Amino acid sequence: MNLMDALRRTTIVAACLPVAIALAQDAPSPAPAVTVIHCPNLFDSIAGKMLGPTTVFISGNKFDKVEPGTQTAPGATVIELTGATCLPGLIDDHVHLDDQFGKNTYAEAAHVNFADEVLRSTLYARRTLLAGFTTVRNVGDTNYDTVALRKAVAEGTVVGPRIFTAGPAISTTGGHADHTNGLSMDLQGDPGPMQSIFNGPDEARKVVRLHYKEGADLIKAMPSGGVMDLGTNGSGPQMTEEEIRAIVETAHDYGMKVAVHAHGAEAIRRSVIAGVDSVEHGTFMDDADIKLMKEHGTFYCPTVYTGQFVAEQAKKGAYPPAVTKKALEVGPQIIKTVSRAYQGGVKFAYGTDAGVYPHGQNWEDFIYLVKAGLPPAYTLQMATINAAQLLGHDDELGVVAPGKLADLVAVPGNPLDDITVMSKVSFVMKAGVVYKRDSQEVLTQ
Ligand SMILES: [Zn+2]
């Protein structure tokens, strides 16, 4: 094994067909045949409105009936959520479950093993679910470990959210996902398609096909520089429009959507024109980009809290100099961009970049989105029906309605009056199984 291989800790993860896994994740649960939940309030994610007292009937892993008032059914298990507001299970469309930045992250790259990262990811998955996020889109991992995590959650080996994963993010040489950036030349090697690095449309197609082969549900591409790598360029374009188009056309052929990490205006413009499904971060989005995103129906995942978090960490000296400079520039800008993009009619989905900040605090974006001027009800739609639409699974997720998967969470009080209650999720049900009740974890294993 050469040094490059050692650094990438290449491990073969069994490839699984995404469709089969998606279905297996939602196999009928061991929950009682019928459960009845009494919700004092229920958020209607389609209308963006709060409903009064509602009874939710659950049969197996799906919602059966949703009716006004307080009702019951013979032989049913009744759950009273006194004083609470019920919402569809929350969805975070931008997480990194196998990673969490800490003060030792950059030094750890030299001595933390792949297995260490995988074991940590099981804790991060559990924290995410207990925070009320019953579904996540993982947009960038190491060596497809979240494909294995997806399978472990589906099998019940690990407690966590339903996972849709992009596998490793894809990038050009020296780009944001080139993990040899900043290493000494002796250690860099020449990463190529097998390491998710490409140059030119043909290699781009190969990288996308390799991801399909290894079980990715979607593609995450890095057409602009980023904050957390050791490169110097935080926002400039790092892919040609032709390269992005090759990614999008190939991914769509295979039924996979494309999310792009893009900070700079030119990288956003090229990506939207090439037909990507979502822009992540979007920090320096200009008015022309906003117009284009509205026209193309491109989703925006703003990761607004992460912007604030990295700027604060940079001020405390938590990052190397190259990262500090970029974090101070990019962080504060995102909140302004969020306001402009919302006013400009861009469609938002909830995506936080959990992993850059600690997992389980995925609710922080609600607070900052409201600070940016978004209506609280819209932020809740972002994390339910809009996020489900971006996943392409709004037929079964993001809404409490008959026939949908029984993902339901509750918070004390009313988030339309006080958005901070989203930090206090007290009840979590995923596919009909209760994982948290009265703010305490319910052991399911
Ligand atoms: Zn990210």
pLDDT tens track for 118-140: 999 999 999 999 999 999 999 99
Taking each helix axis from N to C end, the angle separating 321-343 and 304-315, rounded to the nearest 10 degrees, works out to 150
Q: Taking a C-beta distance cutoff of 8 angstroms, is the pair 268, 285 a contact?
A: yes
Percent of the chain scored above 90 by pLDDT? Answer: 73
Ligand 1 centroid from CA 95, angstroms: 6
Q: Which token pair is 317?
A: 């000296």
On the question of pLDDT at 9 being above 50, the answer is no
**Residue 236's pLDDT band (boundaries 50, 70, 90)?**
confident
The number of angstroms, rounded, from the C-alpha of 154 to the middle of its chain's C-alpha atoms is 17
Ligand 1 centroid from CA 130, angstroms: 21
Ligand 1 centroid from CA 312, angstroms: 18
Which helix (H) or strand (E) segment holds residue 54: the answer is strand 54-59
Q: Which amino acid does the sequence have at 210? A: L
* Protein residues with C-beta less than 5 angstroms from the ion ligand 1: 353
Alpha carbon distance 76, 51 (integer Å): 23
Q: Taking a C-beta distance cutoff of 8 angstroms, is the pair 223, 270 a contact?
A: yes
Give the pLDDT confidence score for residue 102 in this predicted structure.
Answer: 74
Count CB atoms within 10 A of the CB of residue 275: 16
pLDDT tens track for 347-374: 999 999 999 999 999 999 999 999 999 9
Q: Which token pair is 412?
A: 């004390």
Count CB atoms within 10 A of the CB of residue 365: 29
Please give the average per-residue pLDDT across 418-426, as a whole number.
98
Ligand 1 centroid from CA 77, angstroms: 40
Q: If we measure between CA atoms, which residue out of 264, 210, 215, 208 comes closest to residue 235?
A: 264
Residue reference for tokens 């008015």 = 287
Domain boundaries, the chain: 31-89+399-441, 90-391
Ligand 1 centroid from CA 209, angstroms: 22
- The whole model's pTM is what? 0.90
Ligand 1 centroid from CA 96, angstroms: 6
Percent of the chain scored above 70 by pLDDT? Answer: 89
Ligand 1 centroid from CA 315, angstroms: 21
Ligand 1 centroid from CA 445, angstroms: 31
Ligand 1 centroid from CA 418, angstroms: 28
Question: Beta 257-262 vs 278-281: how paired, if at all?
Answer: parallel
- Report, in angstroms and rounded to the nearest whole number, the Rg of the chain calculated over CA atoms: 21
Q: Which token pair is 404?
A: 């949908």
φ/ψ of 418, rounded to 5, equals: -145, 100
Ligand 1 centroid from CA 56, angstroms: 35
Ligand 1 centroid from CA 380, angstroms: 21
Please give the average per-residue pLDDT across 387-410, as a whole number.
98
On the question of pLDDT at 11 being above 70, the answer is no
Strand partners, 39: 54
Q: Taking a C-beta distance cutoff of 8 angstroms, is the pair 261, 300 a contact?
A: no
Q: Which amino acid does the sequence have at 396? A: E
On the question of pLDDT at 332 being above 70, the answer is yes
Fold of domain 31-89+399-441? Urease, subunit C; domain 1 (2.30.40)
**Residue 24's pLDDT band (boundaries 50, 70, 90)?**
low
Q: If we measure between CA atoms, which residue out of 337, 422, 415 comes closest to residue 376?
A: 415
Architecture in CATH for domain 90-391: Alpha-Beta Barrel (3.20)
Q: Which amino acid does the sequence have at 21? A: I
Please give the average per-residue pLDDT across 84-102, as a whole number.
95
Three-state DSSP class for 305? helix
